[in-house]
Structures are given as C-alpha cells and as structure tokens.
Amino acid sequence: MGLGSDFQDLLEGGVDVESHEGIFPQLHHKYCIIDHSNLDSDPLVITGSHNWSASAETVNDENTVIIHDANIANQFYQEWYKRWSELTIGVEEVENQWDVRFYPNPASDVVNLYVNNTGKF
C-alpha cells in the first residue's frame, strides 16, 4: 500500500468501510472502529489527530491513540452510526416508519430491544 488513502485497498480486502464522497456535509471524524460487536475478538478504536492522509504520514506531527475496550468501541460505533444515518438514510423517513428503542446503553448483561412498525410510510 502507498501513502495516503487506503480506502480502495481496504475495500478490496473485504473490510467494511464507508465512503462519504459526494455526501454533504462530509463527516470529518478521525477514528476507526474495529470489531465493535465481536466481543470474542479485541474490539478497539483508533483515533487521534492523524487523518490517514499522505501529509499526516510524511509531513505533519500527528498522534495516534489505540483504545482496547469493547464499551468504548460500542459507544464510538453508535455515535458514528447515528451521524452516518443522518447523512445517508434521512432520519425523518426512519422515524416515521419505525419506533426502535435499545436500552440500557451501555449495557452489561441484559439489553432490551423494542421495535414497532408504525405503518407511516
């Protein structure tokens, strides 16, 4: 892999990545969430000032923080998913069709999931 964006290489390698190209406003989040829902692995978050660009890798003085924690990875994922959904799905459409609740969050042993199709298409 070369310096800079590795998006295509990750995609071709079977990694679940999302592109914000052509979506406005663009997300400008500098983190990567790995295995947030696979507790048998090592769920983690990679974050910091490094934005995975050629300049970040060769010119800028950047930092990278790696957090090994399932709770933190889950919280980052939920926040990312909320922001991503606002950009790609249209929250009004989803809210008019479904009433979905997941609680408590974060959870320890038991979670509750409530789903109701409101029929408002």
What is the distance, to the nearest Å, from the Cα of residue 81 to the centroid of all Cα atoms in its chain?
5
Tell me the pLDDT tens digit for each residue of 15-30. 888 777 766 666 677 8
Contact (CB, 8 A) for 52 and 10? no
How many C-beta neighbours within 10 Å does residue 52 have?
16
Domains and CATH numbers, the chain: 7-88 (3.30.870.10)
Tell me the whole-structure pTM to 2 decimals: 0.62
Tell me the pLDDT tens digit for each residue of 34-51. 998 887 899 999 999 987
Contact (CB, 8 A) for 3 and 12? no
Inter-CA distances, 83 with 41, 60, 70, 77, 98, Å: 25, 28, 20, 10, 18
